[in-house]
Amino acid sequence: MKKLTTLLLLFVGLLMFGQDLNSSLPVDETIKKGVLPNGLTYYIKSTDVVKDAASYYIIQNVGSVLENDDQQGLAHFLEHVAFNGTENFEGKGILNTFQEKGLVFGRDINAYTGFDETVYNIDNVPTTPELIDKGLLVLHDWCNYLLLTDEEIDAERGVIKEEWRTRQNGQMRLFQTSLPITFNHSKYAERLPIGLMRIVENFEYKALRDFYHDWYRTDLQAIAVVGDIDVDTIEAKIKALFSKIPAVKNARERFIVTIPDNQEMLYSLGMDKEISTAMIEFGIRHKKSLENQTVADLQESLLQSMVTTMLSSRISEEAQKPDAAFLGASVGYQSLARANNAFSMRVAPKPGQQEAAFKAVLTEVVRAVKFGFTPSEISRTIKEFSNYYETQIAKKDDKSHGALINVIKANYLDNETITDIEKEYSIAKTLFAKLTPEALHNTIKKLYTKHNRFLNVTGVEGKNNLTQERALAVINEVENNNTLTAYTEAFEGKTLISGLNIAEGKIASKTNNNALASTTYTLSNGIKVHYKFADKQKNTVAFKAISHGGKSLINDDNLPSAELLGNLIQMSGLGEFSATELPKILAGKTASMSPSLGETTEVLDGSSTTKDVETMLQLAHLYFVKPRFDEQAYKVLQSNIDNYIIRRSKDINEQIKDKITTTLYGDDNPRKRVFDKDFANDVSFEKIKAVYLSRFENAADFEFFIVGDVKAEDLEPLLNKYIASIPVTSEKETFKDVTPKWKSNNVDEDVSIAMEDPKTNVNIALKIETDYTVKNQFVTKALGDILQLRLTETLREEEGGVYSPRAGAFLVKEPKVLSYVSIKFDCNPDLAEKLVSIVHNEISKMAKGEIKQEDLDKTLTSYKKSREQSKSNNGYDMTLLTTFYRDGYNMENPSNFDEVVNNINKKDIQNLAKKLQTKGQSFEIVVKPLAKN
Ligand SMILES: [Zn+2]
């Protein structure tokens, strides 16, 4: 009898969805996938999202979980030395080859190592025949032809130690404490990819080579080529080049680490001297299927996403109440490990309220488990999901290389289907049409199981921390609370502009700028809107309104309030609607707008899809005409601020930041204040409101820009309605120069702070006044980028003393024009002095004209390449317009780019370096660890 019911249910299921739940998902045929006889998998996708460029990836199904005990850290170590010598690219050959063509290490050439995978990338390579072959050849070498010389291995030990040091902090130490609980003492708990430093510093070469030979092999490798290429040509090249790589015989089994089940909840309490605020993470592990996906899997994952979306919105609604016990919380259902997902809940409690916070968020989860979801929540979520699908479909040919690689990775590593999004949506629509509240209710019930639970508490020394006993008691209490009632919402369908009286204006005049292919509208209220149609990215429209003034016009007393303006505005909602109501009003729409305050400007920044341009302009209208300031939200903001001050009081990186500020500007510079209790006491609701109104009340001196996939005839009536109708005054503003001064022209100080894991933090800067010209922009930038190449070679590669030295330079335009150079890095305290002298030496060499032509060439080539590739993006057209109307020049004119970049020579860089050294201002602040007693 039992059997029969199951069969019957299955039959009903079939009828309901009009599809066989067991049928496989529709596959995106535009991504070519194949497997060579040696087991190597390849993916090829042709896309012109970036013109004349392709990206090359190798996805190794290999990560730190495969390490033996004496290899902890070597999966990641191997990833580093894979860049330091292969059969066809000796030494730094890989980096040099691509840097010469304008790629930048770290940005375009990179890799990462995880528990279960190691992925290498070379992005946005120009598609010349030579470089297509080089790209494939690097992937080929990464498969099986690493040199792994003794010298390169030894040289990398220091770099990895410094990578460990720069990432090591209170958060990381506590993360390590939580691993055995999260992963139930499985191998994951002992395989954090960075590994053990005693192994990294001392391992025998053989241990690394063994790992490489065991695991870097064709049956565990996939390569992917995505870009402006011909699929058949690339496939033929892949077959010719990669088929020759031999498959490994008697290969070790690529095992998958399973996390054992637990009946009782696992618990950890972690505390750290550098962590002063609590955090609670509650999770429930589930098995993840690695089988081929079916319609039933899609259905399940849609239901799961809907459930966590609805739950998240209920919880954020709770967090917006001033008397909530928590500052924020999130729930989600995500991948935890290769074969596990987790339903998880993260709670940031208010100080001293760990138990109440945990209880409050858990109550919302249990409420949903008991009562499910309301019809209005469900229909709103369907609207949001449908909008998501429609947006994705409209933009499907504009998917970035990175986004394409992500679906390829999920296919290779987790066996997720690369679906045809249009066909997937039609299945999803059938599902949405028949969706019952019971199906969603059952989904949350299935996620909230009694077993496989874990709880990681970040506690605070000396505080009332949530213990295992109390946590279990709270869970028991909440689950058995008979007074719990179902969620209700009293929210009726209104529109964004309900209750608003808009006096429509009109377009007074219209002029075309032929050079830019743009149009400038002057509206009846005097506002100017510069518009350009651009559909390089379909279905995307960008908005900007910019005005001079910014924080430079805010007096010292109001400055702390000005710093928090963005927070309060965002938490206050807009027009008639609170921050809880606003997303409900906007459900099913893709439009955003946010006001912000810079040093010398105030800006409204927005974006939308083509169908939602009207909503975007309504938002802009409201931010000028009817901003909302919510006193309840301000109370919530105050508790956030209090908690933030506690949190940063012990955080090393925050302390370093404060030390630099006070060393450079003195202890009480009113325009460079440290974010502490005194600062917070000077913030007020009334002041924030006054600052906002002073900056955004008058739209007259804003210049508006709209660029994207919206036609003029569709835009014009909307401009009449929402922009020409904004009331204005005749007042126009500019900015003032209120830049705070450094304590002296050459600040040179060492300061110390107490730390758990010692590191030294070096900060060097130089600046000099100059003129605002295109040439000065690029000469300044080039000086910084050449310095970056020098410091990577010296501090990282030669000395092994720094993981990631960061050098850069830029031209500051306002309030004074400056060439500004900055150098920052963390390093081993014992080496700091030597490393700092190397930096100075490199700057001196530049000032003496000792500049390598190849460094200059790499740098200038990268500017030309970035410029060319940026043209595939609507953002390029936005910059074209803002540069023309705000900075006064046409950047497409050869005299404003090509002629400048092509003519920059070593002498230009030398002159700037010399001027900076002899006539500029500088600081050198070295933050050291306080000697421990
Ligand atoms: Zn690394």
DSSP 698-734: -GGG-EEEEEES--HHHHHHHIIIIITTS---S----
How remote is the CA of residue 161 from the centroid of ligand 1, in Å? 10
Question: In 814-873, which residue ranges form alpha helices assigned H by DSSP?
Answer: 832-847, 853-870
Q: What is each CA distance from 662 to 559, 564, 745, 930, in whole angstroms?
A: 17, 21, 15, 18
For 356-367, letters b (16+ CB in 10 Å) and e give bbbbbbbbbbbb
Kind of pairing, strands 109-113 and 118-126? antiparallel
**DSSP-derived 3-state class of residue 759:** coil
pLDDT tens readout for residues 258-293: 999 999 999 999 999 999 999 999 999 999 999 999
How remote is the CA of residue 476 from the centroid of ligand 1, in Å? 44
Q: What is the pLDDT of residue 493?
A: 67
Band of pLDDT at residue 731, cut at 50, 70 and 90: confident
How remote is the CA of residue 83 from the centroid of ligand 1, in Å? 11
Residues 316-326, mean pLDDT to the nearest whole number: 95
How remote is the CA of residue 835 from the centroid of ligand 1, in Å? 20
How remote is the CA of residue 385 from the centroid of ligand 1, in Å? 37
Provide the token pair at 607: 């974006």
Angle between helix 74-81 and 150-167 (nearest 10) = 120
Domains present along the chain, CATH in parentheses: 31-242 (3.30.830.10), 266-400+410-479 (3.30.830.10), 507-723 (3.30.830.10), 746-929 (3.30.830.10)
Residue 692: enclosing H or E segment and its boundaries? helix 685-696
How remote is the CA of residue 164 from the centroid of ligand 1, in Å? 8
Q: What is the pLDDT of residue 16?
A: 46
How remote is the CA of residue 920 from the centroid of ligand 1, in Å? 36
**pTM for the whole thing?**
0.93
How remote is the CA of residue 112 from the centroid of ligand 1, in Å? 7
How remote is the CA of residue 376 from the centroid of ligand 1, in Å? 48
How remote is the CA of residue 427 from the centroid of ligand 1, in Å? 42
Band of pLDDT at residue 872, cut at 50, 70 and 90: very high
How remote is the CA of residue 825 from the centroid of ligand 1, in Å? 15
For 245-254, 325-334, 489-498, 639-648, which range has the lowest pLDDT when averaged over its residues? 489-498
DSSP string, 23-88: SBPPB-TTEEEEE-TTS-EEEEEE--SSTTEEEEEEEES--GGG--GGGTTHHHHHHHHTTS-BSS
Kind of pairing, strands 266-270 and 453-458? parallel
Q: What is the pLDDT of residue 730?
A: 80
Angle, CA of 292, 297 and 302, to the nearest 5°: 145
Q: What is the pLDDT of residue 494?
A: 79
Closest to 604 (Cα-Cα) out of 544, 540, 548, 547: 544
Residue 823: enclosing H or E segment and its boundaries? strand 818-827
Q: Alpha carbon 371 to chain centroid distance?
A: 36
Q: What is the pLDDT of residue 499?
A: 80
Q: In what order do the strands lie in the sheet with 279-287?
A: 266-270, 453-458, 279-287, 340-349, 326-337
Residue 225: enclosing H or E segment and its boundaries? strand 221-227
Angle, CA of 304, 306 and 307, to the nearest 5°: 65
How remote is the CA of residue 702 from the centroid of ligand 1, in Å? 45
How remote is the CA of residue 719 from the centroid of ligand 1, in Å? 50
List of residues 6+ apart from 717 with CB closer than 8 A: none
Cis amide bond preceding 815, omega within 30: yes
How remote is the CA of residue 193 from the centroid of ligand 1, in Å? 9
How remote is the CA of residue 168 from the centroid of ligand 1, in Å? 13
Closest to 137 (Cα-Cα) out of 62, 63, 65, 225: 225
How remote is the CA of residue 183 from the centroid of ligand 1, in Å? 23
Closest to 788 (Cα-Cα) out of 762, 819, 818, 823: 823
Q: What is the pLDDT of residue 81?
A: 98
Q: What is each CA distance from 843 to 97, 296, 784, 796, 828, in whole angstroms?
A: 25, 62, 10, 17, 22
How remote is the CA of residue 406 from the centroid of ligand 1, in Å? 20
- Does 578 score more than 90 pLDDT? yes
Angle between helix 354-371 and 468-479 (nearest 10) = 30
How remote is the CA of residue 76 from the centroid of ligand 1, in Å? 6
Q: What is the pLDDT of residue 21?
A: 87
Residue 111: enclosing H or E segment and its boundaries? strand 109-113
Cross-strand partners of 118: 60, 113
Angle between helix 906-919 and 853-870 (nearest 10) = 100
How many alpha carbons fall within 13 Å on the CB side of residue 787?
34
How remote is the CA of residue 518 from the centroid of ligand 1, in Å? 46
How remote is the CA of residue 155 from the centroid of ligand 1, in Å? 14
pLDDT tens readout for residues 216-254: 999 999 999 999 999 999 999 999 999 999 999 999 999
For 163-177, 494-508, 831-845, which range has the lowest pLDDT when averaged over its residues? 494-508
Residues 820 and 769: beta-carbon distance below 8 Å? no
How remote is the CA of residue 90 from the centroid of ligand 1, in Å? 20
How remote is the CA of residue 259 from the centroid of ligand 1, in Å? 26
How remote is the CA of residue 42 from the centroid of ligand 1, in Å? 25
Distance CA 389, CA 430 (A): 13
Q: What is the pLDDT of residue 491?
A: 66
Residues 612-633, mean pLDDT to the nearest whole number: 97
How remote is the CA of residue 301 from the centroid of ligand 1, in Å? 33
How remote is the CA of residue 191 from the centroid of ligand 1, in Å? 15
How remote is the CA of residue 79 from the centroid of ligand 1, in Å? 7
Residues 531-555, mean pLDDT to the nearest whole number: 96
How remote is the CA of residue 785 from the centroid of ligand 1, in Å? 21
How remote is the CA of residue 148 from the centroid of ligand 1, in Å? 16
Q: What Rg value do the Cα atoms of the chain yield, rounded?
A: 29
How remote is the CA of residue 80 from the centroid of ligand 1, in Å? 6
Residue 333: enclosing H or E segment and its boundaries? strand 326-337
How remote is the CA of residue 804 from the centroid of ligand 1, in Å? 10
Residue 691: enclosing H or E segment and its boundaries? helix 685-696
How remote is the CA of residue 74 from the centroid of ligand 1, in Å? 11
Q: How many CB atoms lie within 10 A of CB 497?
A: 21
**DSSP-derived 3-state class of residue 772:** coil
How remote is the CA of residue 19 from the centroid of ligand 1, in Å? 47
How remote is the CA of residue 135 from the centroid of ligand 1, in Å? 22
How remote is the CA of residue 455 from the centroid of ligand 1, in Å? 29
Closest to 303 (Cα-Cα) out of 440, 421, 431: 440
How remote is the CA of residue 105 from the centroid of ligand 1, in Å? 13
How remote is the CA of residue 260 from the centroid of ligand 1, in Å? 30
How remote is the CA of residue 143 from the centroid of ligand 1, in Å? 19
- Burial class, 495, CB count within 10 angstroms (exposed 0-12 / middle 13-18 / buried 19+): exposed
pLDDT tens readout for residues 69-122: 999 999 999 999 999 999 999 999 999 999 999 999 999 999 999 999 999 999
How remote is the CA of residue 92 from the centroid of ligand 1, in Å? 16
How remote is the CA of residue 458 from the centroid of ligand 1, in Å? 27
Angle between helix 652-665 and 631-650 (nearest 10) = 90
Distance CA 547, CA 698 (A): 10
How remote is the CA of residue 241 from the centroid of ligand 1, in Å? 29
- Burial class, 2, CB count within 10 angstroms (exposed 0-12 / middle 13-18 / buried 19+): exposed
φ and ψ at residue 143, rounded to 5 degrees = -65, -50
- Does 1 score more than 70 pLDDT? no
How remote is the CA of residue 67 from the centroid of ligand 1, in Å? 16
Provide the token pair at 739: 């830049």
How remote is the CA of residue 73 from the centroid of ligand 1, in Å? 10
How remote is the CA of residue 587 from the centroid of ligand 1, in Å? 41
Provide the token pair at 605: 């920044």
How remote is the CA of residue 763 from the centroid of ligand 1, in Å? 22
pLDDT tens readout for residues 380-436: 999 999 999 999 999 999 999 999 999 999 999 999 999 999 999 999 999 999 999
Residue 134: enclosing H or E segment and its boundaries? helix 129-144
Tell me, letter by letter, the H, E, C secondary structure of 544-582. EEEEECHHHHCCHHHHHHHHCHHHHHHHHCECCECCCHH
Residue 389: enclosing H or E segment and its boundaries? helix 375-394
The 8-class DSSP code of residue 432 comes to H
How remote is the CA of residue 891 from the centroid of ligand 1, in Å? 38
How remote is the CA of residue 549 from the centroid of ligand 1, in Å? 43
Residues 516 and 404: beta-carbon distance below 8 Å? no
- Does 374 score more than 90 pLDDT? yes
How remote is the CA of residue 87 from the centroid of ligand 1, in Å? 22
φ and ψ at residue 370, rounded to 5 degrees = -80, -40
Provide the token pair at 718: 């909307």
Closest to 427 (Cα-Cα) out of 374, 386, 395, 459: 386
Closest to 520 (Cα-Cα) out of 884, 876, 872, 894: 884
How remote is the CA of residue 160 from the centroid of ligand 1, in Å? 6
How remote is the CA of residue 163 from the centroid of ligand 1, in Å? 6
For 587-601, 724-738, 809-823, which range has the lowest pLDDT when averaged over its residues? 724-738
Band of pLDDT at residue 8, cut at 50, 70 and 90: very low
Residues 44 and 238: beta-carbon distance below 8 Å? yes
How remote is the CA of residue 110 from the centroid of ligand 1, in Å? 9
Distance CA 932, CA 285 (A): 41
Q: What is each CA distance from 250 to 63, 214, 217, in whole angstroms?
A: 20, 10, 12
How remote is the CA of residue 207 from the centroid of ligand 1, in Å? 18
Q: What is the pLDDT of residue 18?
A: 53
Q: For residue 691, give the amino acid letter.
A: V
Q: What is the pLDDT of residue 498?
A: 80
How remote is the CA of residue 214 from the centroid of ligand 1, in Å? 21
How remote is the CA of residue 49 from the centroid of ligand 1, in Å? 29
How remote is the CA of residue 166 from the centroid of ligand 1, in Å? 11
The 8-class DSSP code of residue 419 comes to B
How remote is the CA of residue 198 from the centroid of ligand 1, in Å? 16
- Burial class, 427, CB count within 10 angstroms (exposed 0-12 / middle 13-18 / buried 19+): buried
How remote is the CA of residue 460 from the centroid of ligand 1, in Å? 31
How remote is the CA of residue 68 from the centroid of ligand 1, in Å? 19
Q: In what order do the strands lie in the sheet with 760-769?
A: 746-753, 921-929, 760-769, 818-827, 806-812
How remote is the CA of residue 832 from the centroid of ligand 1, in Å? 21
Q: How many CB atoms lie within 10 A of CB 209?
A: 15
